[in-house]
Amino acid sequence: MIQHILNYLGIGAAAASGAVLGVRKGFDLFGIAAMAVVTGVGGGVLRDVLLAIDPPQSLQRWQDITVCLAAAALATLFARTVIRLHQPVTMLDAVGMGFFATSGAALAVDHGASWFAAALLGMVSALAGTIIRDVVARDVPVVMGPDDMYAVPAMLGSVIYVVIDYYGPQWVGVAVGSLVATLLRLAAITFHWRLPTGPRELIMRAHPPHPGP
C-alpha cells in the first residue's frame, strides 16, 4: 500500500516538473502532456527495457500515465502557483527519487540483475526521467551539475539497498535506502551541497559575452 502511494507521488512530482518545463518552453498541450509522461515514467521504462520487461509496466498498465496526465493538467492550470511553490514540489520529488532508486534496484534484483547492475538500474530509475526531460527540451541535464546534489543521493540510496538486501530482507533495504537518499537530497537542497566541477578555467562558455559596441 505505502509503496503504491510513494510510487504515484514520485511519478506525479516528476511529471509536474516535466509539464512546467513544457509550459516554460512554449509547447502546446500535447507537448506539455508528453513532457509530463516522459519525465514521470521515462526512468522506469528505460529500466524495464534494460531488464527485458516487455512491454514496460508503466505502458502496460494505465495507472502511471494517468497520474502523469493528471499532474500535467494541474501543473498547466496552476502553473504560476506550481512555479511559486517550487519548494514543496522539490520535496515531493526528493521522496519519489529516493523511492525509485531503491525500488528500481529491488526490481532489478528480482529480474536476475547482478548486485552491480541492480545498483546502476536503481540510479537509472531515479535519474533517467529528468535527463530525458532536459534532453527533449534542449536543456543541459540538471542532474549533470553543478547544481545542488541530486544524483549522489540516488546512488547512495541504491547502493544501501543492495548492501542491505545482500544481508537481510528486501523491505528493510527499500525503507532505509529510500530514507537516506531522500534526507540527503533534502539536506543538499537546504544547505546547497554541491560536488566540485573540473578545473574551472577549462569550462567553455556556451554563449560568449557580447563584446559590446
Whether the CA torsion 143, 147, 153, 159 is positive or negative: it is positive
**97 belongs to the binding site for a copy of itself (CB under 8 A):** no
Is there a contact between 161 and 103 (Cβ–Cβ < 8 Å)? no
Alpha carbon distances (Å) from 184 to 103, 155, 179: 17, 11, 8
Which of the stretches 1-9, 10-18, 113-121, 178-186 binds a copy of itself when contact is defined by CB under 8 A?
A: 113-121
Shortest Å distance, C-beta 2 to a copy of itself: 25
Q: Which of 13, 15, 34, 36 binds a copy of itself (CB under 8 A)?
A: 34
Contact 38, 129 (CB under 8 A): yes
Binding footprint of a copy of itself, residue count (CB under 8 A): 67
* Shortest distance, position 119 Cβ to a copy of itself, whole Å: 10
Report d(CA 17, CA 39) in Å as an integer: 8
Q: Which is nearer to a copy of itself, 10 or 18 (CB)?
A: 18
Least distance in angstroms from the C-beta of 16 to a copy of itself: 13
What is the contact mask toward a copy of itself in residues 150 to 189, using x (rule: CB under 8 A)?
-xx--x----------------------------------
According to CB under 8 A, which one of 6, 13, 65, 188 is a site residue for a copy of itself?
A: 65
> Considering only 26-34, 95-103, 163-171, 173-181, which stretch makes contact with a copy of itself by CB under 8 A?
26-34
| Residues ≥6 apart with Cβ < 8 Å to 120 | 158
Measured between alpha carbons, how far is 186 from 153 in angstroms, rounded to an integer? 9
Least CB distance from residue 111 to a copy of itself, whole Å? 8
Q: How many CB atoms lie within 10 A of CB 183?
A: 14
Please count the residues of the chain.
213
DSSP string of 43-79?
A: HHHHHHHHTT-SS-HHHHSSHHHHHHHHHHHHHHHTH
**Binding stretches for a copy of itself (CB under 8 A):** 22-32, 34-35, 45, 49-52, 54-56, 59-62, 65, 76, 79-80, 83, 108, 112-114, 116-117, 120-121, 131, 135-141, 143-147, 149, 151-152, 155, 194-199, 202-204, 210, 212-213
